[in-house]
Each structure stands twice: as C-alpha cells, then as structure tokens.
Amino acid sequence: MSGKIKEGLIAGTISGIILGFLLKGIEASTGILVYTLLLNIDFIPIIGNIEWPETIEFIFHLIISLAIGVVYSIGSYRYFHKRKVAQVVFSYLLTLPTVFLYFPLTYLAEKPTPPLTDIVAIGYWTLGHAVYAAVLFAVYTYNEK
C-alpha cells in the first residue's frame, strides 16, 4: 500500500502545481482573482490572521492536493484497479466538491476575491478543477505499477 501512497503523493503534487499555475495565469491575464481565492486562508482562525508569503499559502494548497491524490490513488487501486473509465470518473467525482468550494470560500474571504455570482470566475474555477481531475488521472495512470 505504501506504493499507492507514493503514487498518490506524486499525482497530488503535480495536479496541485498545475492547478495553481493555471489559476495564477488566468488571474494574471484577466484580473479575476481565482488564484487569490485558491490560496486564501484568511478566514481560518489563528492561521488566517498571519500574513503568509505566497509560497507558504501555495504549500497549504498542495497539502490539500496531496490528501486528494492519496485518496484517489488508494481508491482507484482498491475499487477500480485496471478499470480506466471508472478511474477517470472517480477523479472527477473526487474533485467535484472542490468546484462547489468556490461559494463558501468566496463568502468567508476577508480579502478581495471574485464576487459570489461572477459566472466567468466560476467558469475559470470549474475549468481549473476539471484540468486538475484530468491531470490527477493522467499522472496516476502514468505512475501506476
């Protein structure tokens, strides 16, 4: 099982980095604060009061991605071994809740983030997380032994 954890850590790391860079590029080119939203933790008691450097905020994001990667890897192996279509569906189902996190994260944010009803921001957020799910599957599949 330790091999599956390693595969999940690799898949979660690469997927999380790609998601972060994609949303950072979208924010840089459009001004829509989707990357800011991804890294925002200002609403979390105690740690939210600290002015963290962007690198540390990105590491917080990656920790969540690592956990998703491990759950995905173990779940794929245990329930969908050698069933690629099921693994793709599982990656999207596992990522789906992160799409809906747009709303509570935006609502709870103290610093500027996209408006709750900004359809374009929601679209970019959803696109980023759809890419995340695809990369999660692809990297896992590539590393699967």
pTM of the model: 0.94
The domain containing residue 42 runs over which residues? 2-143
Per-residue confidence at 46, pLDDT binned at 50, 70, 90?
Answer: confident
- The proportion of the chain whose per-residue pLDDT surpasses 70, expressed as a percent, equals 99
Six-digit token string for 75: 């779940």
Q: How much is the pLDDT for 143?
A: 86
- pLDDT given for residue 145 in this prediction: 64
Helix, strand, coil content of the chain in percent (nearest 5): 80, 0, 20
Q: How far apart are CA 121 and CA 82, in angstroms?
A: 36
* pLDDT, tens digit (0-9, with 9 covering 90-100), for 74-110: 999 999 988 999 999 999 999 999 999 999 999 999 9
pLDDT tens column, 109-134: 999 999 999 999 999 999 999 999 99
Q: How many domains does the chain have?
A: 1
Residues 84, 141 contacting (CB under 8 angstroms):
yes
Distance of CA 104 to the CA centre of its chain: 15
Cα-to-chain-centroid distance, residue 96: 10
Per-residue pLDDT, 1: 64
Phi-psi region for residue 115, left (φ > 0), alpha (ψ -120 to 50) or beta? beta
